[in-house]
Amino acid sequence: MTCYSVLAVTPTKEDWIPGYLAPALEIMTKHGGKYIARTTDHEQVEGDAQPAALRIIIEWPSKAAALAFVNDPDYAPHLKARTEGSTSSHFIIEGKDDLA
């Protein structure tokens, strides 16, 4: 089942970013992921303010693929750099409608 990663990222320092982008893309692609959106152009229209500099949506072929990316040993140092150099949240969402 198709699955999506939805991230909100606000860098608190920027030194990690140049070394993150290419390796993260390569590892994500290895696990079947592709960017749907990676943008600073977003607007919150409901709920309590949840500011973020960057919103990211990644499509995965399955939840297993998304988790394989997150847990890939090659990604570990890049994940550490991102989480130490930003305020981030990451949700994995299955592409299904439980209310239908």
pLDDT of residue 65: 98
Domain extent at residue 10 = 3-42+62-94
CA 24, CA 50: separation in Å to the nearest integer? 25
Residue 99 covered by a domain: no
Residue 23 covered by a domain: yes
Residue 12 covered by a domain: yes
**Checking phi first, is residue 34 left (phi over 0); if not, alpha (psi -120 to 50) or beta?**
beta
Find the CATH number of the domain harbouring 81. Answer: 3.30.70.100
Give how many domains the chain has, as a whole number. 1
Query: Which among 4, 5, 6, 8 is positioned nearest to 95, based on CA atoms?
Result: 4
Residue 80 CA neighbour count, 13 Å, CB half? 6
Residue 88 covered by a domain: yes
Reported pTM: 0.94
pLDDT of residue 76: 98
Residue 21 covered by a domain: yes
- pLDDT in 10s for each residue of the chain, 100 residues: 999 999 999 999 999 999 999 999 999 999 999 999 999 999 999 999 999 999 999 999 999 999 999 999 999 999 999 999 999 999 999 999 999 9
Residue 28 covered by a domain: yes
